[in-house]
Amino acid sequence: MAHVHPTAQIMDGEGDDVELADDVVIGPHCVLGGRVRIGAGTRLIGHVYGQGPLTIGEANTVYPFACLGFAPQDLKWDPDDTGAGLEIGDRNTFRETVTIHRATSHDTPTTIGDDNYFMAVSHAGHDCRVGDGCVLANNVALGGHVELEDRVTIGGATVIHQFVRIGRGAMLSGGVGTGLDVPPFCTLTGINVVGSLNVIGLRRSGMSRDEINDLRWAYRQMYREHRHPKEAIDTLREYTDRPRIAEIIAFIESTSRGLCSRPRKYTPRNSRT
């Protein structure tokens, strides 16, 4: 049986329909309204606000003042339109003051996968799709329609523009931002700049040495050989039988915003004498 603190408000108005699985814990001063489903073992510590349509899976932990499923920050969207809502998977952690908004769609909800860690004050806008095993440090902001593939790590205070895609296993430094797609397994080191391959992340993921070497080679073709992007992609296509290179190609071919660039070589100006 779910444990609901006496001060929590499980709304019972028109359109409200809250279902709590066994051993769910709803702490003090939480407020749930609309159509809400919460899976077994999930804990809302206190002062958590959830607005349906909202589905939260099993074994999640939500810290105080997190707000899940409220209306999107989109001036074209009627805030009273519930849309497709927000769906959250299992074993996620949402720290203090995290905000995640529901979709501006009646077909596809904003989606958070499994085993993600949202640190304090991080934000995912409407229609975002976050995969599994991602880490968002403090004050990270995902604009609407952003897509994070699995195992993405984002440093604090980094901002992702609307409709941007971040490839699997990528790492983004803190205090930067991007309005362009970041290829899988790469590291964002400046604004719209990919500066290296995420080698440490590749090793920690258990990827084989041959796979890492394939990715090193692919990275050189894209960012170190000073080639035109089309020429680099044509070279990569000669090795589509290698799974990691094929993954890079598939990501590049599906980009609509374009890819982050390589670092510019710094040439100091001649000083006046």
Q: Could you give the residue numbers annotated as active site?
A: 126-127, 144
Q: How many CB atoms lie within 10 A of CB 217?
A: 16
Secondary structure element (H or E) that encloses residue 163, with its range: none
Please name every residue paired with 9 in a beta bridge, in sequence order, or none if there are none: 31
d(CA 105, CA 125): 13
Q: How far apart are CA 221 and CA 188, in angstroms?
A: 17
Distance CA 71, CA 77 (A): 8
Cα–Cα distance between 164 and 162 in angstroms, integer? Answer: 6
Encoded amino acid at 243, one letter: P
